Structure 1
Amino acid sequence: MQKLDLIVNDLRKDGYRITPQRVAIIDYILNTESHPTAESLHEVIQKKHPMVSLATVYKTLDLLKKKGIVQELRLAGGSRYDANVGRHVNLVCVNCGKIEDVDYDLLEEIENKVARKSKYDIVGSKFELYGYCSNCQKAGIAK
């Protein structure tokens, strides 16, 4: 069974309405690497589902956050959404806003060291690095 089907079945089992618009939103967020905003996600979904409202997109994203299916990245330009909820680094271009995920095994080691030193029970982390993506560097925008 595909991840989309598992999520839809789980939501249905929990009593949430499963509409074609909601399925399209979930499918898109699971299959994109672009870290969309709610507004850009709305634009994409509207092409196939013209009646979908921005409120539906926000409600679905909130539900997916609550279920641990997506994480919200609160950046200077607004919130972006990421279906990669595993341990990783988000590389954020300070010029064009592009976000890339990079798996980094040492994050677990960092969390463990911080937990030992601080006596905290670490339950999650977000790690972002800011710089200029390769396209902006090629365009001569990076300093």
Structure 2
Amino acid sequence: MPFRPVPKNLQNIAECIALVGLGLFAFWINMAAGQRGFFAFDQSIVFDGGYRIFSGQIPYKDFLLWTGPIAYALQAVFFWCLGVNYTAYLVSAAIFNAAAAFLAVAIVRMLFPASRLLAYVAGLLTA
């Protein structure tokens, strides 16, 4: 029996399933790790900065920042959408973790187009 390659549409379906699975895993693993507790020394900086921007304060005018204002502004958007609570903080981290896993897959696929497995392993390790 001659070898028949897998039809292209089945490859696309399998890749979509793999990407959805990777995104769900990246989201879940971040939420599960975040449920362990709030680490005040590391996490309170972004939480407090996001809350201050959410409350109407202006960075560098009303309060000082250790880094650029992008992370704080994004956290303020999540506070606006989900309320000021720890769950909003975890959801924002989980979404960005899933985005980082997708970016890892995309970058490795650009660098090594023939190796799809390597790309998904990179995404899994990034998650």
TM-score normalised by L of structure 1: 0.23
Normalising by structure 2, what TM-score?
A: 0.25
Q: Which of 1 and 2 has greater Rg? A: 2
Q: Please identify which structure carries the higher helix content.
A: 2
Structure whose residues are more often strand by fraction: 1
